[in-house]
Amino acid sequence: MNTKQSENTMDQYILDIVKKNNPKTVKELVKLVQPKYPVPEEKILECILHLQNQGKIALNQQAPVSPALRNYIFSTKANWYWTIIAVAAATTALVFTVPENAYPLVYARYVLGSIFVLFLPGYSLIKALFPTKELDNIERTALSIGMSLALVPITGLLLNYTPWGIRLTPITLSLLALTITFATAALIREQQIKLKLNPAQHKTHQKPKSVGGETKMVNKDQAIGGLICIVCIAIAVAYTTALFWPALEAIRLWLIGIPVFIAFIAILGIGAWIGWTMATTPPPKPLEEIPFEQTEEEGQTEEKEKE
């Protein structure tokens, strides 16, 4: 009972300090509270976060993401990661345990297998490249399917030049390893970027005032998108024609090997870039340095007291 009364008294004292002294950071507020309440900083920080949850004070930033990967990976922010792992593991288990004639379980194998091949590898890679909200759901889904359609054939071509060959077991295990690797890299990058960014910058997004400027930007993007589409289609047609043209049979091996080599180097380059970004990302600010602001109700109460 005394402990609860002490916490209530400390909460009220923190509110009084905020009104009177208007500290700029949580660290400054902690220093102002400690002379009257000589308790550990963790206890004062707990009271400050409690007041924030009640809406009595408002931090300019949200509660910081835990810098420990172990805590982040088991938080609700990592639900997408465990969903990917669960679907990939379930698909692998069904592939090796459910035979082709085991109806109706084989339909679950078909459904999960389609997601496992056509979506998960590309989604994990896109998530590693764009771990936060740079892309909307439609763009992310489309890019995930397209990237999966590129990664799976490349994986098959690389396996073709190995002793294992293109068989069910090596393909399944390769796609599983690829998906888990990209998903883990995406989780690590997501945590580091959330630690680095200021969430307050993403609370509101103002609409552009100039409609004409926005229209010009859209037209420019459409022109660039159309050009990219035309170039990709032209390259695809030229490559397919050259690959199956009888007169070019002597260089067919080079036509297959060079794109595989370029794609392999590109994937390794993406992995190296992800690793470099993770290694050079600066550590986050500690909780004590996060600025905060009073809520509107406190500001009105303070103005009434001054009057």
pLDDT, one tens digit per residue, over 154-196 is 888 888 878 888 888 999 999 999 999 999 999 988 888 877 7
What's the 3-state SS for 222-286?
HHHHHHHHHHHHHHHHHHHHHHHCHHHHHHHHHHHHHHHHHHHHHHHHHHHHHHHHHHHCCCCCC
* Whole-number pLDDT of residue 91: 93
* Whole-number pLDDT of residue 120: 94
Beta bridge partners of 245: none
Q: Does residue 200 have a pLDDT over 90?
A: no
* Whole-number pLDDT of residue 87: 94
Measured torsion, CA atoms of residues 223, 228, 229, 233, in degrees rounded to the nearest 10: 140
R_g of the chain, CA atoms, integer Å: 28
Residue corresponding to tokens 């390794």: 268
Q: Does residue 223 have a pLDDT over 70?
A: no
* Whole-number pLDDT of residue 138: 86
Q: What is the CATH number of domain 2-64+288-306?
A: 1.10.10.10
Q: What is the pLDDT of residues 103-132, one digit of tens each?
A: 888 889 999 999 999 999 999 999 988 887
Query: Where does the pLDDT of residue 207 fall: very low under 50, low under 70, confident under 90, or very high at 90 and above?
Result: very low
Instruction: Please report, for the chain, the start and end positions of each structural domain, with discontinuous segments joined by +.
Output: 2-64+288-306, 69-200+225-284
pTM above 0.85? no
Q: Does residue 307 have a pLDDT over 70?
A: no
* Whole-number pLDDT of residue 157: 81
How far apart (Å, rounded) are the C-alpha atoms in residues 26 and 65? 16
- 194 touches 67 (CB < 8 A): no
